[in-house]
Amino acid sequence: MQSSLFSLCFPWLLLSLSIQCLLIPSYKSTDMDVHRYWKALTYSYPIQKWYSDTTSQWTLDYPPLFACLEWFLAQLVAIVDKHLVQLDQLQITTLVDVWVMRSTVILCDLCLAHAGYLHLSILRKYQPQVSDIQLSIMVSINSRYFLAYLYYNQVYLWWTIYTFNTMVFLLLVYFMSVIIIEWANLFHSFQVLRCCLLLMLFLSIGIFPWLYDWQQLKILTNRLFPFERGLLHAYWAPHFWSIYGCLDQLLSKLIKILFPHSWVASTRNISTRGWIGIRKPFVLLPNPSPWICHGMVVLGMLPSFYDLWKRRHLLLHPMHSMWLWMVSLHDFYLPMIFSIWI
């Protein structure tokens, strides 16, 4: 079965790599300059300065494990073309530079290709009707796959914000499956202790170099959760705060009509412009502090967790609808996660 699956996947992998190589010289985006600078930053500075450097507009604001990936790729890039990891090299100018930078992306894609191959090999063991989400939930109930999940997210380097949702959801599923299925052997098998230790390991590896200094940890947290960028940035505005901002707009326009000489009439409303750095965009409604946003995130997630707990007897069955419902609700409150700080 494994050989037939490999023979089926390998041509598609070659086709994908061929298309990627053909498209390497097609265009050059600003993101390429950003990642080149991040490689130069991690290559030139010690780890303590990665998140405190402000000499460029392209400050490092990705999680620590992604920064470690940039450092690793920078070591490879320096062997091929060392000027790409110099801080004074502001832009990528030659086609060779483009090839080198795109090659690092293809290298990372090969890791994902291997993960996809393993995913397909597991998927073929289950019924063909089982969806990807159902499969993820089923394997998460099995404690042997919990470590695989944590390992995968370490490889994924916390790049996506959905990791928070997935981690909490799978932890709840895992704990409740232990309680329901293995209650008699709970303390003998140390399931909960093992789960807690794995979670502590998962959380500590990413921020371990910054734990020794509170100031460094605060700098890291503020960089990863940039409340100063504003709640109505164009990238994440179409969520909860868009409704809040729309209500503020309607109220301010209504007051301008009813009271044309009030202080609201002379105030310029900037909540719909999608600018970065507008910390207080609302005119009439209160501008929330980071801690208020933090509390709203928790409150916004409680209904889905409560519903998950009420349906805990369904843990032995596919829960794709529960998962989708929880992710949808969390996605509605997702922008507020950016406001959490220390």
Which two tokens mark 112?
């994902």
Catalogue the long-range contacts made by 137-142 (C-beta closer than 8 Å, 24 or more residues apart): 137/173, 137/318, 137/319, 137/320, 137/323, 138/318, 140/170, 140/173, 140/174, 141/173, 141/174, 141/177, 141/181, 141/315, 141/316
Per-residue model confidence (pLDDT) at position 155: 44
Per-residue model confidence (pLDDT) at position 184: 47
- In this structure, the chain runs to a length of 342
Which two tokens mark 114?
């291997």
Residue pLDDT, tens place only, 253-282: 887 777 777 766 666 665 555 555 566 777
Report the distance separating Cα 305 and Cα 268, nearest Å: 40
Contact 90, 55 (CB under 8 A): no
Report the distance separating Cα 276 and Cα 253, nearest Å: 23
Contact 58, 103 (CB under 8 A): no
Report the distance separating Cα 286 and Cα 299, nearest Å: 18
Counting as low any pLDDT under 70, the low residues of the chain are 1-6, 89-90, 119-120, 122-213, 227-230, 233-239, 263-279, 304-305, 308-309, 311-342
Report the distance separating Cα 200 and Cα 191, nearest Å: 14
Report the distance separating Cα 213 and Cα 47, nearest Å: 13
Count of H helices and E strands in the chain?
A: 13, 0
CA dist list (Å): 129 to 48, 123, 124, 212, 289 = 49, 10, 10, 49, 47
CA 100 to chain CA centroid, nearest Å:
26
The phi-psi region of residue 157 (left if phi > 0; otherwise alpha if psi is between -120 and 50; otherwise beta) is: left
Per-residue model confidence (pLDDT) at position 75: 92
Q: Is the dihedral of CA 310, 326, 158, 61 positive or negative?
A: negative
DSSP state, 160? S
What are the two backbone dihedrals, phi and then psi, of residue 278, each rounded to the nearest 5 degrees?
A: -90, 95
Per-residue model confidence (pLDDT) at position 33: 85
Report the distance separating Cα 97 and Cα 265, nearest Å: 53
Q: Name, in order, each residue with C-beta under 8 angstroms of 218's C-beta and a sequence gap of 6 or more.
A: 342
Report the distance separating Cα 294 and Cα 63, nearest Å: 19
